[in-house]
Every structure is written in C-alpha cells, then in structure tokens.
Amino acid sequence: MKVQDEAKPYDTINVTPMLDLAYVLLVIFILMTTASVAGLKIDLPKPSNKPATTEKKEIRIIQILSGGDLMLNGAAISMGELESRLAAAQSRDPETSVVIKGDPQTDYAKVVDIIDLMARLNISNVGLVTARMGT
C-alpha cells in the first residue's frame, strides 16, 4: 500500500455550485418580474377623433434683469404696461402662455410679483426658465 506523503493542492476550482446558484437566482428573477407585471390592469386613454391642432400660439417671455428692470419679448417695459399688455393678450386668447426668466442676481421678490400678476390676470400657462447647475 502506498502512503501519500505530501498533500497535493487543488489546481482547479469547482464552479458547479456557483452556476447552480446563478441559475436559481435567474429563475427567481424571471418569476418575480413576470408575476408583478401580469397583475397590472391599466385603462389606457382612447385617441380622440378630432383633428390635431396645428395652430401655433405666441409665447410671451418676461425677463427680469439683475437691476429689476423688466423686458417683454426683448423690449423694455414697466410693470403697469406689462399688466395692460398681458390683460389684453389674455382677453384675446384665454390660453395665453407666459415664460418668466429671472436673472440669478435679481431680487426674488420681483419674480414673485410677476407670478402674483399672472394669478391676478388668471393666466395659468406660466413657466419658469431655469439653468442647469454648473453651466
């Protein structure tokens, strides 16, 4: 009988248990994703038969400069004149759109005054222009 005098180290790794675990996890993942999706009931909206409108609406851009001065579509304007022009635009088109672009250095109270003006004139399509941080 031959006695093994030195222990021989393993030179290969048995990957069978690792593959078994990967397959079990894959099966669990597949079962869980299909089970959660199959249980959803969604009532999707139906398309209307009316033709799409191709009418382009004018957007009014209000800029608030760093000194507090106002500009409407690139032209300098006072607060009273701005209110009268927006009121006239609102009476012509109830869906008037307004975009407010405030300078980062301006007093924020001036931006709030413009937003309050939009509320008084019942202009609901109001947007605020922002810039991405770091740009």
**What are the chain's domains?**
59-128 (3.30.420.270)
- Between strands 97-102 and 59-64, the pairing is parallel
Digit-coded pLDDT (tens) for 9-20? 767 888 899 999
Query: Taking the model in full, what pTM does it have?
Result: 0.54
Digit-coded pLDDT (tens) for 38-49? 556 777 778 777
Strand ordering across the sheet containing 59-64: 75-77, 70-72, 59-64, 97-102, 125-128
DSSP per position, 48-115: PSSPPP-PPPPEEEEEE-TTS-EEETTEEE-HHHHHHHHHHHHHH-TT-EEEEEE-TTS-HHHHHHHH
Q: What is the mean pLDDT of residues 91-117?
A: 84
Digit-coded pLDDT (tens) for 66-102? 888 888 888 888 888 888 888 888 888 878 888 888 8
pLDDT top residue among 42 and 28:
28
Q: Between the CA atoms of 121, 93, 95 and 50, what dihedral angle is there, to the nearest 10 degrees?
A: 160
